[in-house]
Amino acid sequence: LSIKFKIKQINLELGDILLGYTDGVNEGKNPMVIYFAKALLALIEQSVTSVLELVERLKEHLFQYIAEAPQFDDITMLSIH
């Protein structure tokens, strides 16, 4: 299996937010083994006033989503504004 990646460069504009996260975030599973990915995209599209608000919102929703399901991977998020 060979995966090819493209390298691109963008300029962040005033007010832009850059969010990085490990696969433990988008692949967080609820007790019915459904991934968090779709919910993550919906949450990212909502407006926020700060990166702290964004990360806290994602963390809160992710842990509610996972509930009592076992965590199988690390959960790490980094956001800059």
pLDDT in tens, 8-64: 999 999 989 999 999 999 999 999 999 999 999 999 999 999 999 999 999 999 999
Other residues' Cβ atoms within 10 Å of the Cβ of residue 54? 20
Give residue 72's pLDDT band: very low, low, confident or very high (50, 70, 90). Answer: confident
Examine the pLDDT at 71 and tell me if it is beyond 90. Answer: no
H helices then E strands: how many in the chain? 3, 2
The C-alpha torsion from 10 through 81 and 49 to 42, rounded to 10°, is 50
Predicted local confidence at residue 57, as pLDDT: 96
Average pLDDT over residues 66-72: 88
Closest-CA residue to 74 (of 35, 29, 22, 19) = 22
